[in-house]
Every structure is written in structure tokens, then in C-alpha cells.
Amino acid sequence: MKKLANYTDNNKINRIIDANINRTKEGLRVCEEIARFILSDRTLTAGFKEIRHKITSEVKKLFLTKELLAARESRFDAGRNIQANELNRRNLSDIFLANIQRVKESIRVLEEFSKLTSKKSALKFKKMRYNIYEIEKKALRKIAALRNLR
């Protein structure tokens, strides 16, 4: 990561970036698996996979993996404990919605923090976020159709 002009503790920012890369990719993977194995939708599956790969590619351009890994302090993370509502999933829709929301929020964090070093990357993350909004809409329609079939 480039040194930030007005911020001396890059390690803390690297922790934020690392956590949100993981959060984004994990959430995308859950949504991708739903699209692939439950919805059997190749287009949605490809859409989630494409964004997951774009995230990886863009992050590699911006940040050094070894710096991100060095900044990781999972065992000291204040947000590490599982919240009770994280364990409450009644159905497929709940699982999908929890994960797609996680994806949107974490891409937004990547978008904001990349503005510190690359406005071009920030715009790419923004575009990915808007792509997620469109994919989410299509996936939710398919999930609702599944419920109506039962």
C-alpha cells in the first residue's frame, strides 16, 4: 500500500482493508454457491464469480498481500465474537440477504479506503457495488420464485 500522506499508521488501515477483502469474498462465495447449487443459474453464478475475481485483482494492484497478512490480528479483533442475530437464519432468503448485505457494505469500505491511494480503483469498486445491486435484484426474484413453487 502506498504511504498515506496524512495518516501515519498504515497497519490499522491495512487491517480494515484485509477484514473487508475477506468479508467481501466470503459473502460473494456464499451467494455464488446459492446461485450455482440452489438456483441453478449460470448467469448469476458467473456474475458473483466475476466480481469476486475483480475484487481480488483490484486489491492486488493496490495492496501488498504480505502487508495485509502482517496487519491481520484476528484474535484481538473487537468484532470477533458472534452476535446472536448471526445465528438466526430461517430460510434461504435470510442466508442470501445477510451475505449480500455483507458484500455491499464491505465493497463500500474498500471503495472508501482506496480513495486514499487510487481514485481509479475507488471508481472500480463503486462500479462493482452497483453491479452487485443488479445481481441481488435478479437473485432475489429467483429465490422468491422458489418459495412460490413450494
Nearest one of 85, 90, 101 to 147, comparing CA atoms: 90
Q: What's the pTM?
A: 0.85
Q: Do you know the residue count of the chain?
A: 150
DSSP assignment letter at 127: H
Q: pLDDT value at position 85?
A: 67
Whether 128 has a pLDDT exceeding 90, the answer reads yes
Q: pLDDT value at position 13?
A: 87
From residue 120, give the alpha-carbon distance in Å to each of 52, 58, 114, 144, 149.
18, 10, 9, 37, 44
The larger pLDDT score, comparing residue 63 to residue 109, is at 109
Average of per-residue pLDDT across 43-62: 94
Cell numbers placing 44? 448469476
Q: pLDDT value at position 86?
A: 67
Q: pLDDT value at position 46?
A: 98
